[in-house]
Amino acid sequence: MISPKRLIELARKWQRMASAKRRRILHPRSLVADKGHFVVYTTNEKRFMVPLEYLSQNVFIELLRMSEEEFGLPTHGAITLP
């Protein structure tokens, strides 16, 4: 498991990288994800489209691991993030 200090450091790096590329996690207007994106939901049921390239970022991988620990793997339905 990654330490909280390291997780915060990775999150800040991820935010800087995203803002430098002028890319953000977008709240979509349509029900279908745009090309090169996938959809995740938060625990309060907000829907976000996330670029596929974020799957190569350590902070996002750790977020998916935390989600798996808390909610389990989805057998049907959407990915939910804490």
Which pLDDT belongs to residue 35?
84
Tokens (6 digits) for 81: 């993030």
3-state secondary structure of 15: helix
Q: Render pLDDT for 2-34 as a digit per residue (tens, 0 to 9).
A: 777 777 777 777 777 666 555 555 554 556 777
How many CB atoms sit inside 10 A of residue 64's CB? 14
Tokens (6 digits) for 15: 């935010």
pLDDT at 38 over 80: yes
Which pLDDT belongs to residue 27?
52
- Residue 41: which pLDDT band, with cuts at 50, 70 and 90? confident
